[in-house]
Amino acid sequence: MSYEGYEQVLCANGHLWIEDALTATHVGYDLCQVCKAMPVWSNSVDQTNCDPEVEKTMRVELTVQTPTEVKTCGECGHVLTWKEGTYVIPTDRGRKLDFNAPFTFLKGEPPDFWAPGQIE
């Protein structure tokens, strides 16, 4: 049996990154590549059977807090991300990640994952 999918991950400052579910390391190891803050929220999106409806129901549509700023080169047209955008950290879906407190599941997440230090 296999699993395919990805993790939506937000740092404490609202920066988003996506990790492949099989290689996801945000659980206590990865820091935000923009600001080096710890991840505070994640959400698993299942793509195992390539069903777009399943992915659509599992993916959390994030609310933009500050939009990404881009600049375009006047000579070659290259687009550069000038300032990464941020997102509001959801409180109703996904998983709250707090490495100093007991692991907390939010609505819609099954208790099938344990944070470091909580395996009994």
Is 118 among the domain residues? no
- In contact, 92 and 69? CB cutoff 8 Å: no
For 32-49, letters b (16+ CB in 10 Å) and e give bebeeebbbbbbbbbbee
Is 33 among the domain residues? yes
Is 70 exceeded by the pLDDT of residue 55?
yes
Percent of the chain with pLDDT over 90: 32
Domain count, the chain: 1
Is 113 among the domain residues? no
Is 80 exceeded by the pLDDT of residue 101?
no
From the centroid of its chain, how far is CA 21? 11
Give the separation between CA 74 and CA 78, rounded to whole angstroms. 8
Is 114 among the domain residues? no
Which residues form the domain of 98? Answer: 5-105
Is 88 among the domain residues? yes
Is 35 among the domain residues? yes
Is 63 among the domain residues? yes
Digit-coded pLDDT (tens) for 6-46: 889 999 999 999 888 777 665 556 788 899 898 899 888 88
Is 120 among the domain residues? no
